Amino acid sequence: MRVWAVANQKGGVGKTTTSIALAGLLADAGKRVVVVDLDPHGSMTSYFGHDPDTLEHSSFDLFLHQGAVPNGLPQQLLRSTSHERIALLPSSTALATLERQSPSQSGLGLVLAKSLAQLWQDFDHAIIDSPPLLGVLMVNALAASQQLVIPVQTEFLAVKGLERMVSTLAMINRSRKQALPYSIVPTLFDRRTQASLNTLRMLRDSYPEHLWPAYIPIDTRLRDASRAGLTPSRFDANSRAVIAYRALLKHLLNQQMAAQVA
Ligand SMILES: Nc1ncnc2c1ncn2[C@@H]1O[C@H](COP(=O)(O)OP(=O)(O)OP(=O)(O)O)[C@@H](O)[C@H]1O
Ligand SMILES: [Mg+2]
């Protein structure tokens, strides 16, 4: 199984959309995918028709055993989605009680890694949608993954959030054996606005090695797909955003191969 996290300490930058778009494309290609919702707001869980306010069991359950993960629990928590090859490990609002906890105090930093280890044979790919706060959940997401995708909205303020995310990553890397490879993905790009163009230029100057050299355009079909509860590629395989996400997936898979060879 390959595990990717999608994270940024800024809200509304396209994390959930990117997670689901990539998962959908992998699943279309025949991969068995598990998507993990670690955000207490549960947008990914709602996207697939489950209510994070009323779910009795969720990824929260994994954190209730002093850092151990009972055998079979991750499998029991999985829910179905509109795509037959995507399973969902849902979020619930109870996760909010964990969000701000410090992982070093709680001993809960590796719960998700241990949980995914139990699903290793069942799936080809896991994609984790992370909350925007740096706490035990974000640390779990980064500790469990082999590659990180950082969506950045192409507007001026978003670059500040990115700086924070990159310094968080540097901190996390100190406790990992290998630095976590990451790709910065410009999202919600509107080529008619100067802010989008300027931000893209700034990202190219500041992060030349980590920036995916294209962008995800603004595309209202993504909102329509979420309203329909379908992955963007199932909703409209040829929309502008899906075409861009397909190129992004190719880039990430190439990067993953390069990392494996290195
Ligand atoms: N490329 C795009 N074009 C148009 N709308 C988009 C695009 N990407 C995301 N959106 C919309 O923008 C909103 C925010 O996107 P999304 O929920 O993916 O961001 P997020 O980073 O997960 O937000 P949060 O921090 O609240 O979890 C959603 O309504 C989504 O449908
Ligand atoms: Mg989200």
**Three-class SS of 63-98:** HCCCCCCCCCHHHHHCEECCCCCEEEECCCHHHHHH
CA of residue 39 to ligand 2 center, whole Å: 7
- What local confidence, expressed as pLDDT, does residue 262 receive? 62
Q: Could you tell me whether strands 79-80 and 86-89 are parallel, antiparallel, or unpaired per DSSP bridges?
A: antiparallel
CB 82, CB 35: distance < 8 Å:
no
Q: What is the CA radius of gyration of the chain?
A: 17
Nearest ligand to the CA of 7 is: 1
Best substitution site from 16, 18, 129, 155 to test ligand 1's pocket, by max atoms within 8 Å of Cβ?
16
Residue 20: pLDDT over 90: yes
Task: Considering only residues 262 and 143, tell me which one the structure prediction assigns the higher pLDDT.
Answer: 143
What is the arithmetic mean of pLDDT over 87-113? Answer: 87
Dig out the tokens for 127 from the structure.
């994609």
Ligand 1 atom closest to 189 (CA): 1
CB 157, CB 191: distance < 8 Å:
no
CB 211, CB 251: distance < 8 Å:
no
147-170: per-residue pLDDT in tens? 999 999 998 888 888 998 999 899
Ligand 1 neighbour 39 (Cβ under 6 A): yes
Under the banding of pLDDT at 50, 70 and 90, the label for residue 98 is confident
- What local confidence, expressed as pLDDT, does residue 29 receive? 98
CB 134, CB 11: distance < 8 Å:
no
Nearest residue to 86 via CA among 112, 134, 40, 123: 123
175-192: per-residue pLDDT in tens? 888 899 999 999 999 989
- What local confidence, expressed as pLDDT, does residue 115 receive? 98
Q: What is the three-class DSSP state of 105? A: helix
Show Cβ contacts of residue 91 under 8 Å, excluding neighbours closer than 6 positions.
37, 38, 39, 40, 41, 42, 44, 45, 52, 55, 58, 59, 60
210-235: per-residue pLDDT in tens? 999 999 999 999 999 999 999 999 99
Under the banding of pLDDT at 50, 70 and 90, the label for residue 258 is confident
pTM: 0.96
Q: How far apart are CA 93 and CA 196, in angstroms?
A: 34
CB 103, CB 142: distance < 8 Å:
no
